[in-house]
Amino acid sequence: MLFNSFIFILIFLPLAIALYFILNKYNPKLAQAYLLGMSLWFYGYQTPEYLIIIIASIIVNYLLTYIMRRSSDKKIRLSLLILGLILNVANIGYYKYLNFIKWNINTLFGTDFAINSIVLPLGISFYTIQQISFLVDSYKNSNLKYNFLEYALFVTYFPQLVAGPICYHSEIIPQFEDDNKKRINSSNLFIGLTWFITGLAKKVFIADILGNGVNYAFDNLELLGSLDIWITSLAYTFQIYFDFSGYSDMACGIAKMFNFDLPQNFNSPYKALSIRDFWKRWHMTLTRFLTTYIYFPLGGNRVGAFKAVINTLIVFLVSGIWHGANFTFILWGLLHGILLLVGRYTKTITSKIPKIFRWFGTFMIVNVLWLLFRASGISDWIFMVKKMFHFDKAELSHELLSNFDSAVSPLLVIALSILICIALPNNYVRTRKHNTFSAVIYAALLVLCIMTLNRVSIFLYFNF
């Protein structure tokens, strides 16, 4: 089920909120079970087969952690941890990377392994690493006493299930048990609703408009001139931000309506002054997971300069692979890692450069690398980068502009996107006034958003 759909906005969400708080008055455990059921309905709405995979994953992981937390034998605990990690990696590896591995083996060794059609279950990358974090924490701390209902709800809680933010059990499960959060709160309801509407507006009025032109451009690269590719790169840079941050805003807003707080996932990433700064601001919960569960266990930067470099590259390699089974993602991750290291070791020099130039340089690097992230192959990316600086055409293609499919000029949408990203505070820090004027503005914005839902599109990170 999509956040940006009639059934979710007009039926699912009101029903989920209303009955959850009603049930909490009589039986909090029943309310939790209801929320779990609604989350499973949300996840399996369009493809019920996905439920088999996620339910099996939840049962297996919970059983492993249950046994692990009740065993005092270190060898047994370690064996269960290793088994759990192997099963989780194998699960995501089968659905996401098996065909990629087969294709590479066939290419390298001339074999003929069949490339079968495997449908990637929605959110498998997200709910798998959440369960890996719980598995590792259970190995480290045998005092975790969560029951199966709490654990299952932690994994499946619908606002963050499909595309994050990536949550830790310590952030979410205690909130399920907090008695102060079991009664409806009008202030949280208002804040959550405005947050949700803002995210929805980001999606339908910016990301989707820019996405139409981006899709055309990547399908017709040979027809584009230099200026076309510059516009395409900017359009995709803002499409992916407003699409993904819009989803995160909606997720945090929905959770707030239930009186729950999800971790921050974005902090104005296009204000970054370096690649390191960018990764402190972009998809923050993924960066946090990779740092906590990969970088630190490898030794971080406490094992010498050379190993610190290798550890950083490993983290960014994993980040690239996590995003998808394509060499474009692998190269994208490694290039970000290399540039972060260059920035780390030239910090004393670059810190003397005026901020405006550091910001512009960082933004342009991120912008060019987003083309690699979106390209179908590395050769396409190289073709686009070469053409960006070839300057073979001084005008924009009419076909490209017309494919943005909007009454508003895409150049205006891009200019508005720059203004929002650079000049305005993000949703995590801005204040919201509870008054009639604000209510009317947000209500009007919601109506406008709903009027566009006849052209619903999925969120970009559903693919990852």
CA-wise closest residue to 420 among 185, 162, 207 = 207
pLDDT tens-digit series, residues 94-126: 999 999 999 999 988 888 888 888 888 999 999
pLDDT tens-digit series, residues 72-102: 889 999 999 999 999 999 999 999 999 999 9
Same domain, 395 and 294: yes
The question of whether 434 is a catalytic residue gets the answer no
* Sign of the dihedral defined by the CA atoms of residues 247, 253, 259, 263, in that order: positive
pLDDT at 371 > cutoff 90: yes
Q: Is residue 109 part of a domain?
A: yes
pLDDT on residue 370: 97
Same domain, 202 and 173: no
Q: How many helices (H) and strands (E) does the chain have?
A: 22, 0
Q: Quickly state the pLDDT bin for 386 (edges 50, 70, 90).
A: very high
Question: Which tokens go with 54?
Answer: 């996620």
Residues 6+ apart with CB under 8 A from 2: 8, 456, 458, 459
pLDDT at 18 > cutoff 90: yes
For residues 464 and 323, the answer to whether their CB atoms sit within 8 Å is yes
For residues 229 and 143, the answer to whether their CB atoms sit within 8 Å is no
Same domain, 98 and 192: no
Range list of H helices, 324-377 = 327-345, 347-350, 355-374
Dihedral angle, C-alpha 258, 261, 263, 268, nearest 10 °: 90
What letter would DSSP give residue 206? I
Same domain, 166 and 204: no
For residues 4 and 456, the answer to whether their CB atoms sit within 8 Å is yes
What's the whole-number mean pLDDT along residues 55-78? 93
Find the range with the poorest average confidence among 69-78, 112-121, 248-257, 355-364: 112-121
pLDDT tens-digit series, residues 274-292: 999 999 999 999 999 999 9
Same domain, 254 and 319: yes
Q: Which of 158, 183, 208 is the last residue of a domain?
A: 183
Q: Is residue 93 part of a domain?
A: yes
DSSP letter string over 407-458? SS-HHHHHHHHHHHHHHSPPTTT-----SHHHHHHHHHHHHHHHHTGGG---
Same domain, 201 and 293: yes
For residues 333 and 319, the answer to whether their CB atoms sit within 8 Å is yes
Determine which one of 283, 323, 336, 390 is catalytic: 323
User: What domain range is 445 assigned to?
Assistant: 187-463
Q: Which of 140, 161, 183 is the last residue of a domain?
A: 183
Question: Could you give the CA distance from residue 380 to residue 366 in angstroms, rounded to a whole number?
Answer: 17
Q: Is residue 166 part of a domain?
A: yes
Question: Which tokens go with 146?
Answer: 């969560």
Q: Is residue 1 part of a domain?
A: no
Same domain, 67 and 160: yes
pLDDT on residue 135: 95
Q: What mean pLDDT is reported for the chain?
A: 92
Same domain, 43 and 88: yes
Q: Is 378 exposed, middle or buried (0-12, 13-18, 19+ CB in 10 A)?
A: middle
pLDDT on residue 428: 76
Q: Quickly state the pLDDT bin for 303 (edges 50, 70, 90).
A: confident
Same domain, 280 and 169: no
pLDDT tens-digit series, residues 392-432: 766 788 888 888 867 678 889 999 999 999 988 887 777 76
Q: Which of 168, 183, 198 is the last residue of a domain?
A: 183
pLDDT at 206 > cutoff 90: yes
Residues 6+ apart with CB under 8 A from 320: 329, 330, 331, 332, 333, 334
Long-range contacts of 59-63 (CB under 8 A, 24+ apart): 60/84, 60/87, 61/87, 61/88, 61/131, 61/134, 61/135, 62/148, 62/151, 62/152
Same domain, 241 and 378: yes
Question: Which tokens go with 397?
Answer: 């293609």
CA-wise closest residue to 144 among 66, 246, 35, 40 = 66
How many domains does the chain contain in total? Answer: 2
Q: Quickly state the pLDDT bin for 65 (edges 50, 70, 90).
A: very high
Q: Is residue 47 part of a domain?
A: yes
Angle value at C-alpha 280, between 372 and 263, nearest 5 degrees: 110
Question: Could you give the CA distance from residue 358 to residue 352 in angstroms, rounded to a whole number?
Answer: 10
> pTM of the predicted model, to two decimals?
0.94
Question: Which tokens go with 293?
Answer: 């569960």
Question: Could you give the CA distance from residue 38 to residue 45 in angstroms, rounded to a whole number?
Answer: 10
Q: Is residue 111 part of a domain?
A: yes
Question: Could you give the CA distance from residue 304 to residue 298 in angstroms, rounded to a whole number?
Answer: 12
3-class DSSP state for residue 345? helix
Same domain, 202 and 324: yes
Angle value at C-alpha 415, between 413 and 421, nearest 5 degrees: 100
Same domain, 196 and 179: no
Question: Could you give the CA distance from residue 49 to residue 252 in angstroms, rounded to a whole number?
Answer: 27
What's the whole-number mean pLDDT along residues 144-162? 94
